[in-house]
A and B are shown apart, each in its own frame.
Chain A
Amino acid sequence: MSKRITMPLTEDKVKSLKVGDSVLLTGIIYTARDAAHKRLVDLLEEGKELPFDIEEQVIYYVGPTPAKEGQPIGSAGPTTSYRMDSYTPPLLENGLKGMIGKGKRSDAVINTMKKCGAVYFAAIGGAAALTAKCVKTSEVIAYEDLGAEAIRKLYVEDLPLVVVIDAEGNNYYEIGQQEYFKTLR
């Protein structure tokens, strides 16, 4: 059974999400990849305002393909998250509550997630045509010059995710594999 979660991701919702949960996420989320992250963190360091309020928000690590005419977005699966690791702690410290990507995170990210109360979700890597169907609207709100790496505001409906690291730091990349091995015994 999947848990239905609606944005914004409040503290209560963060606490209710446990490692391994299948989630269907609905609401507004923001996209950002490497280049956009660098700019966001530079702004924070300079004490300047970000192009969107990250309080209780979720960032999706994705660089979609161009949309066909009449469609909100092209194919839109997750990119590998570790490239965003060095930029993530300051964003969490400023109120970001969730990230969507794929793959491992650094200890520094996990520790900050525990400290600030945040969740790391995985979307299904490679299932980009399917994922795109959950995106109902998409609008570039910053860094248009970055092309596929621009920041987009997406409205998603029932985006299928898995909680990979919860706010207690439990890691599904470890637990899932242990559970699989248990079934072999």
Chain B
Amino acid sequence: MRELHVSKITETVKKLCIDANYNLTDDIRERFQEAKAKESFPMAKNIIDILIENADIAKNEERPMCQDTGMAVVFLEVGQEVHIVGGSLEEAIHEGVRQGYTEGLLRKSVVSDPIERINTKDNTPAVIYYNVVPGDDFKVIVAPKGFGSENMSQLKMLKPADGIEGVKDFVLQVVREAGPNPCPPIVVGIGIGGTFDKAAFLAKKALLRSTSERNEKPLYAELEEELLNAINDLGIGPQGFGGRTTALAVNIETYGTHIAGLPVAVNINCHATRHGEAHI
């Protein structure tokens, strides 16, 4: 049994909150370059350049790339041979968020109650998912999620008869309805299968995967490519000002589902698709 003190977890979550908000990931930078090469529309090219410049400023000056520094979504992979000591694991995570958002000068964008709406002033609570895995590794992923794009996300319980065409239609409908609101170019996370809640979780999880990697199953790798092209044929373009570059990537995650169902969740993320991970 490996012992892990909660203070280490707090420290890691704190660092990841700050790091994810200051530094655009390398894969998104690569997608920007690819998009620029394929983009023919001057206004669209110009905006991609502005977003690259913005990422450079954020990195060099150590400040958030976007003012919406998000609600912290934390994914843990806890090895079943790890013994956590020194206090509550959940509280250690919230404390990491609290410290990260305060010390990193990130915006506190979370309210304690969805109707009463009092700002907690420390960006807690975080949304936390635990996954217990074999071994003694402890992996933390922090994904600050902005709500301009989160608000454009949708879920639909399709019928099995709707099939893959139904999935495509729904995804395109969601992206079309979102239009300029989620600060395109966007990254689209799609969860297919499971239950109502599982599909939504898968869509969020899909956004954690590097945009350089495709789904392992050829069926979905092809669907990712096909949907990316179809989305970029919509003409929405960067910021909705027209152009090819509406999305930088489509990531799909799937799970087994019920004979009567075909849940599909579409989680929209902006180019500021932030996540960082660490092993402790």
Question: Are A130 and B44 closer than 8 Å at their CB atoms?
Answer: no
What total of chain A residues lie within 8 Å of the partner, measured CB to CB?
Answer: 44
A162 to B137, CA, bound (A): 49
Complex: chain A residue closest to B53, CB-CB: A130
Contact code string B182-211 (vs A, CB < 8 Å = 1, else 0): 110000000000000000000000000000
* Given contacts A75-B64, A177-B242, A127 and B108 within 8 Å (CB-CB): no
B64 proximity list for chain A (CB < 8 A): 65, 74-75, 128-129
Asked if B139 is an interface residue, CB under 8 A from chain A, the answer is no
A125 to B183, CA, bound (A): 5
* Given contacts A102-B183, A103-B181, A130-B54, A65 and B107 within 8 Å (CB-CB): yes
Tell me the residues in window 60-107 of chain B with beta carbons closer than 8 Å to chain A beta carbons: 61, 63-69, 105-107
Asked if B221 is an interface residue, CB under 8 A from chain A, the answer is no
Asked if B239 is an interface residue, CB under 8 A from chain A, the answer is yes
Our pick among A67, A74, A173 for the contact of B179 (Cβ within 8 Å) is A173
* Given contacts A75-B63, A102-B183, A183-B40, A65 and B106 within 8 Å (CB-CB): yes
What total of chain B residues lie within 8 Å of the partner, measured CB to CB?
Answer: 47
Asked if B43 is an interface residue, CB under 8 A from chain A, the answer is yes
The minimal Cβ–Cβ distance linking A138 to chain B, given in whole angstroms, is 13
Complex: chain A residue closest to B237, CB-CB: A180
A87 proximity list for chain B (CB < 8 A): none
Our pick among B55, B105, B119, B240 for the contact of A176 (Cβ within 8 Å) is B240
Question: Are A148 and B243 closer than 8 Å at their CB atoms?
Answer: no
A104 to B179, CA, bound (A): 8
Question: Are A129 and B61 closer than 8 Å at their CB atoms?
Answer: yes
A67 to B64, CA, bound (A): 11
- Tell me whether chain B's interface is mostly helix, strand or loop, or mixed: loop
The minimal Cβ–Cβ distance linking A63 to chain B, given in whole angstroms, is 6
Question: Are A177 and B105 closer than 8 Å at their CB atoms?
Answer: no
* Given contacts A65-B69, A79-B148, A176-B43, A74 and B241 within 8 Å (CB-CB): no
Question: Are A64 and B67 closer than 8 Å at their CB atoms?
Answer: yes
Asked if A147 is an interface residue, CB under 8 A from chain B, the answer is yes
Question: Are B65 and A128 closer than 8 Å at their CB atoms?
Answer: yes
Question: Are B241 and A172 closer than 8 Å at their CB atoms?
Answer: yes
Complex: chain A residue closest to B246, CB-CB: A177
The minimal Cβ–Cβ distance linking B44 to chain A, given in whole angstroms, is 7
- Tell me whether chain A's interface is mostly helix, strand or loop, or mixed: mixed
Contact code string B142-154 (vs A, CB < 8 Å = 1, else 0): 0000001001000
Asked if B236 is an interface residue, CB under 8 A from chain A, the answer is yes
B179 proximity list for chain A (CB < 8 A): 103-104, 173
A173 to B63, CA, bound (A): 30
A103 to B179, CA, bound (A): 8
Complex: chain A residue closest to B235, CB-CB: A177
Asked if B6 is an interface residue, CB under 8 A from chain A, the answer is no
A41 to B38, CA, bound (A): 46
A183 to B58, CA, bound (A): 34
B151 proximity list for chain A (CB < 8 A): 80
Asked if B230 is an interface residue, CB under 8 A from chain A, the answer is no
Other A-B contacts than A64-B67, A76-B67, 6 sampled, CB-CB below 8 A, are A80-B148, A124-B50, A128-B66, A128-B67, A129-B58, A130-B53
- The 3 A-B pairs of least Cβ separation, nearest first, read A180-B242, A125-B183, A176-B242
User: Hey, which bits of chain B sit against chain A, CB under 8 A?
Assistant: 40-41, 43-44, 47, 50-51, 53-55, 57-58, 61, 63-69, 105-109, 117, 119, 121, 148, 151, 179-183, 235-237, 239-244, 270-272
User: Hey, which bits of chain A sit against chain B, CB under 8 A?
Assistant: 35, 62-68, 74-77, 79-80, 82, 102-104, 122, 124-130, 132-133, 146-149, 160, 162, 172-173, 176-181, 183-184
Subset of 25 A-B contacts with CB under 8 Å: A35-B117, A65-B67, A66-B105, A75-B58, A76-B67, A79-B68, A80-B182, A102-B181, A103-B148, A103-B180, A103-B181, A104-B179, A122-B241, A125-B239, A126-B54, A126-B65, A129-B64, A149-B119, A160-B50, A172-B241, A177-B237, A177-B242, A178-B242, A180-B44, A180-B242
